[in-house]
Amino acid sequence: LDVLHHSAIRFSTILCPMFLHTNSTSHTWPFSAIAELIDNAYDPDVNAKQFWIDKTQIKKQDCLIFMDNGNGLDYEKMHKMLSFGYSDKRVINGKHPIGLYGNGFKSGSMRLGKDAIVFSKSQDGDTMQVGMLSQSYLAQIKADEIIVPIISFQCVPHSQSLYRCDILHYSIFNTENELLEELKAISSTGSSGTRIIVWNLRRTIARPTEFDFTSFSDDIKIPLDVPLDGLESTSEQYRAIQSELLTKPESYYSLRAYCSILYLKPRMQIIIRGQKVKTELISKSLACIAKDHYKPNFVVSFLTPGPLWMDLVCVRAHVVISSRRHNFCLHLEGN
């Protein structure tokens, strides 16, 4: 193993470590954070055919694992993914990217847990990267700005040990062999890909994590039977919880159900805890569909000597109302 780069990125714009948590609060629902990580693999620049989601324990820590068999990341792309404000996503072969602002990985991973490590093997098959985005690491070194350690190395016939680095000292992987085992897991799914492990998962007052990993071996669920405010539930509170459970669609609290309707035009297989997700085309499963075409009015700008006609924008909104599954969809579209 030949080390090519070992660095700790400091961003050109100084960001306080607390920004990692603040930025993650844009996700009030944990499944939207997971969707950010799925979208990164779905985008045409990665072009993954399969995406795995699993839960495991590493050194007695509950961890979420996300892995794809896409094009992988070289050092520059790893740098951009772990930094803020970079996005070079573009239309490829008529496929439009979902991500535009280069913030999805940071907001999504930090919403799920305090710490994340990224392993990636690039499409050329020679270079591999390991990067870490960690609130715990920044707190332990008492950093006053966000620092992101990255290792880049190349496979060669001989073996050379990694010298001491922050990733080995502050992550849940403390030896070179442990890092290599995670990179080997990528090779088991294809010649390239990316593997993300999130640990120090978000807790609730009543539970060690906000997810239910035990009730269903092939799913990850958001428990709706947690007592309100983490207190002992009264009969009134229990009835309120059960009433909420009956009115919520399954996709609200079941990751498997949510992933089954995530994309209108799915082109990537999602596997949750070893079981493939059966895709459901939501447009074909609705009992009633209504369409309303919205055309924005011209707006005159008084900031220039003459009238400035704004370009027409395309507005799309999807509203799904469900009692049992998917009963009604309102589609708004402007041209």
pLDDT tens per residue, range 44-85: 778 899 999 999 999 999 999 999 999 989 888 888 888 887
Helix (H) or strand (E) holding 44: none
Tokens found for residue 164: 């001491």
Residues 6 or more apart whose Cβ sits within 8 Å of residue 332: 292, 293, 294, 315, 316, 317
What confidence tens digit (pLDDT) does each residue in 177-186 have? 899 899 999 9
pLDDT band per the 50, 70, 90 thresholds, residue 294:
confident
Which domains does the chain possess?
2-201 (3.30.565), 282-333 (no CATH)
Q: Give pLDDT, residue 6.
A: 53
pLDDT band per the 50, 70, 90 thresholds, residue 200:
very high
Q: Which residue has tokens 């640990």?
A: 199
Q: Residue 176 pLDDT > 90, yes or no?
A: no
The predicted model gives 224-240 an average pLDDT of 54
- The answer to whether the CB of 48 falls within 8 A of the CB of 68 is yes
Average pLDDT over all residues of the chain: 78
- Between 38-47, 150-159, 210-219, 277-286, the lowest mean confidence (pLDDT) is in 150-159
Helix (H) or strand (E) holding 187: helix 176-187
- The answer to whether the CB of 198 falls within 8 A of the CB of 112 is yes
pTM (2 d.p.)? 0.78
Q: Residue 277 pLDDT > 90, yes or no?
A: yes
Q: Return the exposure string of 114-143: e unless at least 16 CB atoms fall within 10 Å of the residue's CB, then b.
A: bbbbbbbbbbeeebbbbbbbbbebbeeeee
Residues 6 or more apart whose Cβ sits within 8 Å of residue 248: 224
